[in-house]
Amino acid sequence: MEFESSSNTPPDSKLITQKNSMNNSAFYSSVIFLIMVAVAIYDSFLGLLSIPMKGVMVNPRTVLEGKSVKELKVMLKGTKGISKLNKERLVDLVLSYA
């Protein structure tokens, strides 16, 4: 039995090499999938830990009161007569449009 190939390796070793490369591909795919799952779990865990700090439901009035008058006026762009209003009136106006 003579082998007529460019390399001196028997055909059986080529088959074994191909089989290993398929297993390596499946292994790498599994590792990437497990890394993605680990990142998703980590992100979910951080989201759960942030609930006590941020709260589940935030009062929109307190959020708007934290903004500057200039930011409130930008939110009310296109509304006439807002230049003379104070911050409390601007917050009320933004809440009425929401």
* Span 58-71, pLDDT tens digits: 788 888 899 999 99
Distance CA 29, CA 86 (A): 59
Task: Report residues of the chain scoring pLDDT below 70.
Answer: 1-23
Token representation of residue 12: 């059986």
95 near 61, Cβ under 8 Å?
A: yes
What pTM did the predictor assign?
0.44
75 near 60, Cβ under 8 Å?
A: no
Token representation of residue 76: 């009310």
Distance CA 20, CA 15 (A): 9
